[in-house]
Chain A
Amino acid sequence: MPQFLLRRIIIALPTIVLISIFVFILQKLLPGDPLLVLAGEERDPETLAFLREKYRLNDPIWMQYLAWIGNALQGDLGISLRTNQPVTELMAQKLPVTIQLAVMSMIFALVIGIPAGILSAVKKGTATDYIANIVALSGLSIPNFWLGIMLILLVSVKWQLLPASGYVPLSEDFGQSIRTMLMPSFVLGTALAATLMRHTRSSMLSVLSADYVRTARAKGLTERVVILKHALRNALTPIVTLIALLFGELVAGAVLTEQIFTIPGFGKLVVDAVFNRDYAVVQGIVLVTAVGFIFMNLFADAMYYVLNPRLRGQ
Chain B
Amino acid sequence: MTDAALSAEPILTAKPENRVWKKFRNHKSAMVGGVLVAFFVLIALAAPILPIPDPAATDWGAVRKAPSWAHWMGTDEIGRDVMSRMIWGAQASLLAGVVSVSIAVVIGVPLGIVAGYFGGWSDAVISRCTEALLAAPFLILAIALAAFLGPSLANAMIAIGISATPIFIRLTRGQVISVKSEDYVDSARAIGLPTPRILTRYILPNVLPPILVQATLTIATAIIAEAALSFLGLGQQPPEPSWGSMLNTAKNFLNQAPWMALWPGVSIFLVVLGFNLLGDGLRDALDPREH
Are the C-beta atoms of B140 and A15 separated by less than 8 Å?
no
Are the C-beta atoms of B273 and A137 separated by less than 8 Å?
yes
Nearest Cβ distance between residue B206 and chain A, in whole angstroms?
Answer: 25
Enumerate A47-67 residues with CB–CB distance to B below 8 Å.
none
Are the C-beta atoms of A26 and B144 separated by less than 8 Å?
yes
Nearest Cβ distance between residue A212 and chain B, in whole angstroms?
Answer: 24
For B148, give its contact among A30, A145, A147 (CB under 8 Å).
A30
Are the C-beta atoms of A143 and B261 separated by less than 8 Å?
no
Are the C-beta atoms of A152 and B136 separated by less than 8 Å?
no
Are the C-beta atoms of B254 and A157 separated by less than 8 Å?
yes
Whether, in the assembled complex, B272 has its beta carbon less than 8 Å from a beta carbon of chain A, the answer is yes
Are the C-beta atoms of B140 and A255 separated by less than 8 Å?
yes
Are the C-beta atoms of B143 and A271 separated by less than 8 Å?
yes
Which of chain A's residues have a CB closer than 8 A to the CB of B136? 19, 286, 289-290, 293
Q: Per-residue 0/1 for B122-166: is the Cβ within 8 Å of any A Cβ (1 yes, 0 no)?
A: 000000110111011111110111011010000000000000000
Which of chain B's residues have a CB closer than 8 A to the CB of A108? none
Which of chain B's residues have a CB closer than 8 A to the CB of A14? 128
A interface, how many residues as a size bin? 35 or more
Are the C-beta atoms of A145 and B135 separated by less than 8 Å?
no
Look across to chain A and name the residue whose beta carbon is closest to the beta carbon of B146: A274
Enumerate A135-151 residues with CB–CB distance to B below 8 Å.
137-138, 140-143, 145-147, 149-150
Whether, in the assembled complex, B202 has its beta carbon less than 8 Å from a beta carbon of chain A, the answer is no
Distance A143 CA – B144 CA, assembled complex (angstroms): 20
Given contacts A137-B277, A157-B254, A293-B136, contact A18 B129 (CB under 8 A): yes
Whether, in the assembled complex, B97 has its beta carbon less than 8 Å from a beta carbon of chain A, the answer is no
Whether, in the assembled complex, A252 has its beta carbon less than 8 Å from a beta carbon of chain B, the answer is yes
Whether, in the assembled complex, B258 has its beta carbon less than 8 Å from a beta carbon of chain A, the answer is yes
Nearest Cβ distance between residue A249 and chain B, in whole angstroms?
Answer: 7
Whether, in the assembled complex, A187 has its beta carbon less than 8 Å from a beta carbon of chain B, the answer is no
Are the C-beta atoms of B269 and A143 separated by less than 8 Å?
yes
Which of chain B's residues have a CB closer than 8 A to the CB of A259? 231-232
Which of chain B's residues have a CB closer than 8 A to the CB of A279? 147-148
Enumerate B199-226 residues with CB–CB distance to A below 8 Å.
220, 224
Given contacts A157-B254, A275-B233, contact A289 B137 (CB under 8 A): yes
Nearest Cβ distance between residue A283 and chain B, in whole angstroms?
Answer: 8
B interface, how many residues as a size bin? 35 or more
Distance A289 CA – B265 CA, assembled complex (angstroms): 29
Are the C-beta atoms of B261 and A150 separated by less than 8 Å?
yes
Are the C-beta atoms of A286 and B128 separated by less than 8 Å?
no
Distance A31 CA – B152 CA, assembled complex (angstroms): 15
Given contacts A15-B128, A141-B269, A259-B232, contact A294 B140 (CB under 8 A): no
Distance A289 CA – B145 CA, assembled complex (angstroms): 15
For B139, give its contact among A140, A147, A252 (CB under 8 Å).
A252
Whether, in the assembled complex, A22 has its beta carbon less than 8 Å from a beta carbon of chain B, the answer is yes
Which of chain B's residues have a CB closer than 8 A to the CB of A138? 269, 273
Given contacts A141-B276, A146-B247, contact A255 B144 (CB under 8 A): no
Are the C-beta atoms of B144 and A282 separated by less than 8 Å?
yes
Are the C-beta atoms of A150 and B265 separated by less than 8 Å?
yes
Distance A16 CA – B128 CA, assembled complex (angstroms): 9
Distance A142 CA – B280 CA, assembled complex (angstroms): 17
Whether, in the assembled complex, A153 has its beta carbon less than 8 Å from a beta carbon of chain B, the answer is yes
Are the C-beta atoms of A145 and B231 separated by less than 8 Å?
yes
Q: Per-residue 0/1 for A223-261: is the Cβ within 8 Å of any B Cβ (1 yes, 0 no)?
A: 000000000000000000000000011011101100110
Enumerate A15-33 residues with CB–CB distance to B below 8 Å.
15-16, 18-19, 22, 26, 29-31
Whether, in the assembled complex, A106 has its beta carbon less than 8 Å from a beta carbon of chain B, the answer is no
Given contacts A30-B148, A256-B231, contact A146 B261 (CB under 8 A): yes
The 3 closest A-B pairs by CB, nearest first: A146-B265, A252-B139, A18-B132
Interface residues, chain A, with chain B CB atoms under 8 Å away: 14-16, 18-19, 22, 26, 29-31, 137-138, 140-143, 145-147, 149-150, 152-153, 157, 248-249, 251-253, 255-256, 259-260, 270-271, 274-275, 279, 282-283, 285-286, 289-291, 293-294, 297
Besides the known contacts A137-B277, A143-B265, 14 further A-B residue pairs in the complex with CB atoms under 8 A apart? A19-B132, A142-B265, A146-B264, A150-B265, A153-B254, A157-B254, A157-B255, A248-B137, A248-B138, A249-B137, A252-B138, A274-B232, A286-B144, A289-B136
19 interchain pairs (CB within 8 A)?
Answer: A15-B128, A19-B132, A22-B132, A141-B276, A143-B227, A145-B231, A145-B247, A146-B265, A146-B268, A149-B251, A152-B254, A252-B137, A252-B138, A253-B139, A256-B139, A270-B143, A286-B141, A293-B137, A297-B135
